[in-house]
Amino acid sequence: MVLVVVELALRSAGFGYATAYFVPHPATPPGLLVENQRFPWRFFPPTLARHPDPAVLAPQKPPGTYRIFVFGESAAEGDPAPPFGFARVLEVLLRERYPGTRFEVVNTAFTAISSHVILPIARQCADLHGDLWLVYMGNNEVIGPYGIASVFGQRSLPLAAIRASLAYKSTRLGQLFGWVATQLHRSSEAAKGWGGMSMFVNHQVSQDDPRLAAVYANFQRNLADLVRLGLGSGAKVILSTVACNLRDSAPFGSLHRADLTPDQLAAWDKSYQAGVVAETGGDCAPALRAYEQAAGIDDRFADLQFRWGRCCLALGQAGEARKHFERARDLDTLRFRTDTRINGVIRDAAKAGAAQGVRFLDAERVFAGATKDGVPGDEWFYEHVHFKFAGNYQLARAFADEVAKLLPPAIAGRAATNASWLSKDECARRLGFSATQEHDVLEVVLSRIQEPIYHRQLNFAERRARVARRYEELRGETKPAARRRAVQFVREALASAPDDWQLHELLARALFAADEPDAAIAEWREVATRMPHDATAYFESAQILVQQGKTAEAEAQFQRAIEVNPDFAKAHEGLGLLYARQARTAEAIRHLRAAIRLDPTRAQAAQELARLTAG
């Protein structure tokens, strides 16, 4: 009873946060739900939490709507450009082929999560009248929350303990104790803030690590429970294996067998280096022999398997090359990619659920079949797992074929007269994806692959050169005429989907890049009309107004951003910098401190705060 009283008191006092994925928001009309930006806090320290993409949906599905939930991680989200992810492409494909039906694709995927995070999302989705669940997950089981190489908190807990911990954290009392613990001991990672994949560089896990058995068992149980929830809700379920870049993404980490003697290691290194010299000189046959000799001593070094695969491919041995590339992925000790065991669990789950109507999509096989040599690489992926537009289209088309088989006759019978799927280029036009957009996405990718962890890949220099070369080829897309064409491209896309908030956001950014700030602000207002709970539109408008010298209007927009999302670090930083320029020192310090508390990586906020407090 004491605990109940304390819990109620904490809730009455407003302490803590809601833990559901979808929650009501005062900025949206009553009865609607939006994504909960604090949902990740149960799984991540707030300074390390990645956030869901904005969404608004009605708990009761509107008439004439076919609702699809997508579950997964950053690859399913569409990172590094979610407006062009496979879920978006799938929605366009279905909308154009079945024009009499409103397809509502709700993408719940976001960066760095694992099945331990996805399952609670699915529990709530089970009550939201989905017609179909698409599951594309498995990349983060080792490095995500509760994984054995995680940087986000506790690791290597039994599944029962993980679920008990999550249940405990859903209470305000649990959140209070968690907050106290954080104040007493804050991890170094949390103190520094999000550092990308490089945060995991010291968390290598070899393939024979006995803790991996629990990772696979936990994933199997979480996936089975997710399938059970989906079927129990009345939805159809499609499970997919997870594809990755085999040919062009070298391992991030390699370790030798632990039992090698110094003499064995020296002999291994001699053979390996002989292979590297031969391969570098283009002599793949002797390189292959040298790698085989090294493998006779230790075949568990991931880079060896990757080089072996490259030589096999160069010699026309595509089937053998694929085996070695897959082995290189499985041996990679920095485990950012789904491995053979995880995909095996997915296949087994689909087989076990087939009698109940679970459909199976083998994305690994889809991409292998669509690749000339059967070994997927940079033609589909930006780096190790995140898709280019071509990859997103390929996956969406494969899902679309499966979805078409599951549609009820009332929808299938209303297919367009020309019932073929849209082409990749047609989908790009519907989503506003132009060469200008590709250039801007590549700018993000180039910045990302400068992270130290990418430098560990043996083919880093050549991969960076390829990305930089394509980026330079598209440099003309930054010229004013090209920027204006990009604006028109998005306007044409909006003509067929005028209520698509992501297209309005895309247009706002395109207009600003085309030096049309007033038109950009008008489009941000359109975004805010459709997504009034999302702070981004207010923040971006404020940034433009600051540049125009309209400080009063900018201040109002920054304040509105903070009002709808008090945890939006960028808005606190922007408002703090604005106040600093106006010599409103006390207010500036308050917001700059809030920005740094929420996101320690806000460098400009830290610099300005140091200046203001120096005296």
Residues 141, 181: one domain?
yes
The answer to the question of residue 459 being in a domain is no
Q: Please give the tally of structural domains in the chain.
A: 3
Res 184: pLDDT: 79
Residues 365, 392: one domain?
yes
Distance (Å, whole) CA 596 – CA 503: 31
Q: Which helix (H) or strand (E) holds 412?
A: helix 409-412
* Helix 340-353 vs helix 212-232: crossing angle, to nearest 10: 30
Distance (Å, whole) CA 217 – CA 345: 9
Distance (Å, whole) CA 22 – CA 610: 38
Res 188: pLDDT: 85
The answer to the question of residue 172 being in a domain is yes
Read out DSSP for 302-360?
HHHHHHHHHHHHHTT-HHHHHHHHHHHHHH-SS--S--HHHHHHHHHHHHHHGGGT-EE
Q: From the CB of residue 472, how many other CB atoms can be counted at a distance below 10 Å? A: 11
In what side-by-side order are the strands of the sheet with 56-57? 22-23, 33-35, 56-57
Query: What are the residue ranges of helices labelled H in 531-614?
Result: 535-547, 551-564, 569-581, 585-598, 603-613
User: Which of residues 415, 438, 460 is at a domain's end?
Assistant: 415
The verdict on pTM exceeding 0.85 is yes
Res 7: pLDDT: 87
The DSSP symbol for 208 reads: T
Could you tell me the CATH number of the domain that includes residue 276?
Answer: 1.25.40.10
Here the tokens at position 175 are 């959140």
The answer to the question of residue 465 being in a domain is no
Residues 106, 175: one domain?
yes
Here the tokens at position 221 are 């149980």
Can you give the residue range of the structural domain that contains 298? 262-331
Distance (Å, whole) CA 535 – CA 546: 17
The answer to the question of residue 487 being in a domain is no
The helices-and-strands tally (H runs, E runs) of the chain is 27, 8
Distance (Å, whole) CA 229 – CA 119: 9
User: Which of residues 392, 415, 438 is at a domain's end?
Assistant: 415
The answer to the question of residue 479 being in a domain is no
Res 615: pLDDT: 65
Could you tell me the CATH number of the domain that includes residue 92?
Answer: 3.40.50.1110
The answer to the question of residue 521 being in a domain is no
Residues 267, 140: one domain?
no
Here the tokens at position 418 are 């020309």
Here the tokens at position 106 are 């709700």
Nearest CA-CA partner of 393 in 370, 414, 412? 370
Whether the bond between 63 and the residue before it is cis, its omega within 30 degrees of 0, is: no
Here the tokens at position 199 are 């945060």
The answer to the question of residue 275 being in a domain is yes
Residues 234, 267: one domain?
no
Long-range contacts of residues 542-551, Cβ cutoff 8 Å, at least 24 apart: 542/571, 542/574, 542/575, 543/574, 544/512, 544/517, 544/520, 545/521, 546/574, 546/578, 547/517, 548/517, 551/578, 551/582
Question: What are the pLDDT digits (tens) for 401-415?
Answer: 999 999 999 999 888
Structural contact between residues 96 and 416, judged by C-beta atoms closer than 8 angstroms: yes
Long-range contacts of residues 509-517, Cβ cutoff 8 Å, at least 24 apart: 509/540, 510/432, 510/436, 510/483, 510/486, 511/487, 512/540, 512/544, 513/436, 513/440, 513/483, 513/486, 514/480, 514/483, 514/484, 514/486, 514/487, 515/480, 515/483, 516/487, 517/544, 517/547, 517/548
Nearest CA-CA partner of 33 in 49, 20, 46, 16? 20
Nearest CA-CA partner of 105 in 118, 121, 94? 94
Distance (Å, whole) CA 508 – CA 502: 10
Residues listed for the chain: 615
Distance (Å, whole) CA 575 – CA 580: 9
Helix (H, G, I), strand (E, B) or coil at 362: coil
Residues 123, 215: one domain?
yes
Residues 137, 267: one domain?
no
Residues 378, 316: one domain?
no
User: Which of residues 376, 397, 415 is at a domain's end?
Assistant: 415
Here the tokens at position 153 are 């908190």
Residues 56, 168: one domain?
yes
The answer to the question of residue 432 being in a domain is no
Residues 161, 302: one domain?
no
Residues lower than pLDDT 50 in the chain: none
CB contact burial 475-499 (16+ within 10 A = b; e otherwise): eebeeeebbbbbbebbeebbeebee
Residues 69, 148: one domain?
yes
Residues 51, 165: one domain?
yes
